[in-house]
Structure 1
Amino acid sequence: FRAFANGMDGVFIGGCILNECNYITHGNYQALNMVLLCKKIMEHIGLNPDRLRIELMSSGEGTVYVDVANDFVRQVRELGPIGKAEGLSEDELASKLAEVRKLIPYIKIVKRDKLEARLESKEEYAGYYTSGEIDQMFSEVVSYYIDPEKCKACMICLRKCPVEAIEGGKGLIHVIDQDKCIKCNTCFEVCPEKFSAVTKIVSAPVPPPVPEEARMIVREK
């Protein structure tokens, strides 16, 4: 999606045939799963999924690579400029791609099991991800909120947040910046159970943050 956001009209991924990869991680399985997922997400936001293609081939099949790459280039040229061909303005396209990119950590968590699976045949590709589940995934996006009544300003979540989306400090009630939050679930996982200050909210508005002047915690002596 970064490539599309940077103006690319198509993305081609070439990989080894399944079970023939020289690396023990066999990342081509994960690449295949991610492409199948991304194609469905592209459909969801109104982009033609044919702009993304993955082909698995032997390293010795040079002519095959040339043929499929040329075919993909021809196909993308026929599709035309990204967004314009789909009837999206530049602002609409940028907004949709920005939304998806922000949710990538969340999407990886939600679809972790499917992304880790190994699909062995093309028959398994079709329907592996459905439009219904993708629509549901986007309609049930989670948000995280720190309950000011429970927060003890221990700073654990603040230090662990990978994108510094939590504001606060010693003696200050912590607040999550919803615009920065990537919904990775880290704050929810690291908040001490005895506090349980972080709440997971699904398909509902997040309460407004505590005003700055009311964030100071007065501890009993």
Structure 2
Amino acid sequence: MSPNSYPPRIICFMCNWAFCEEEMRIPYNVDVIRIMCVGRIDPVLVLEAFSRGAEGVMLVGCKPPDCHFVDGNLHAKRAVKMLKKLLALVGLEPERLKLLLVAPLEEKDFNYYAKEFSEEVWKLRSSPLSKEEIMANLTAAKNAASAFRLRVLLGREEELTEFMNAYGEKIPEEEFDALLDDVVKAEFIRYKIHYLTRIKPRSVKELAQILGLKPSIVLRHITNMRRKGMIALDRVEGYTPLYKALEVR
């Protein structure tokens, strides 16, 4: 991201009931966007903030049990967990995203927390990736965050980890986190392949080199993507198939 010569640009999505707006002091490097509930924000908007130049993003909501929507803060925690995994795949430090849950009568004002987070982001070193690669990865991450499979899995976390199924079983949190890791990574890779093959047709070998993966793994993802109508065979050069992305609806 940017060099550490000036305060980083911070975008803050804030619950409508967190902090009194009339009494808030906002640092000049922080932009605050009021929303009805931090648990209702689309994860894609958080990634879009990074795409548009934010160096850090804060989500500010209400501490349990003060959420006006009962469990919005719990939804926010799940979304942030998934988003941090995606940021790591993008090549950005997960610490650039922070969830802050505050009480109705918070002792410290917003200015304190905003400056504290700004300092944390300021200390992070710049990404070794180029701006173009970061933007490409963010595009893949936004599409992955929109994926139906990932959204359903997040929405069922409480059901899967806290309540027993018909067989009297429930998934331990460690197993669910491992499953979430696998799904996040798989969706990110598939949408990165989609992004790369949208630019021009590419072979499995070329994609494997760009992604740093084994060709067999890339081929497995392409097979899955072909079944879903995300990619198709464009042509064969010699003995090498080249694949081209299809429009995803």
- Pick the aligned partner of 1:135 from 175, 185, 195: 185
CA positional deviation for 1:139: 4.0
Name the CA shift for 1:116/1:132 in 2 (closer, same or farther; >3 Å).
Answer: closer
CA distance in 1, matches of 2:96, 2:54: 9
Which residue is 1:165 aligned to?
Answer: none
- Pick the aligned partner of 1:23 from 45, 48, 69: 69
CA distance in 1, matches of 2:81, 2:111: 23
More helix by share: 2
Percent of aligned pairs with the same amino acid:
22
CA positional deviation for 1:138: 3.0
Structure 2 counterparts to residues 62-211 of structure 1, below 5 A: 62-63=107-108, 65-79=110-124, 85-106=126-147, 108-118=148-158, 128=177, 131-139=181-189, 202-204=224-226, 205-208=231-234
CA positional deviation for 1:66: 4.0
CA positional deviation for 1:90: 1.4
Matched AA of 2:152:
R
Unaligned ranges ≥5, structure 2: 1-46, 163-172, 199-221, 236-249
Matched AA of 1:138:
F
DSSP-derived class of the 1:74 partner? helix
CA distance in 2, matches of 1:139, 1:8: 24
CA positional deviation for 1:65: 4.3
Q: Is the 8 A contact 1:16 1:57 kept in 2?
A: yes
CA distance in 2, matches of 1:72, 1:207: 47
CA positional deviation for 1:62: 4.5
CA positional deviation for 1:135: 2.3
CA-based RMSD: 3.4
- Pick the aligned partner of 2:94 from 26, 34, 49: 49
TM-score by length of 2: 0.48
Listed one character per residue, the Cα deviations across residues 88-125 of structure 1 (whole Å, up to 9, x for unaligned) are 1111111111222233321x5334232353599xxx69
CA distance in 2, matches of 1:58, 1:117: 25
DSSP-derived class of the 1:11 partner? strand
DSSP-derived class of the 1:69 partner? helix
CA distance in 1, matches of 2:112, 2:177: 27
CA positional deviation for 1:59: 1.9
Matched AA of 1:136:
A
Query: Which has the bigger relative contact order, CA under 8 A and spacing at least 6?
Result: 1
CA positional deviation for 1:21: 0.7
Larger radius of gyration: 1
Name the CA shift for 1:115/1:66 in 2 (closer, same or farther; >3 Å).
Answer: farther
CA positional deviation for 1:28: 2.0
DSSP-derived class of the 2:146 partner? helix
Q: Is the 8 A contact 2:55 2:96 kept in 1?
A: yes
Matched AA of 1:115:
G
DSSP-derived class of the 1:86 partner? coil
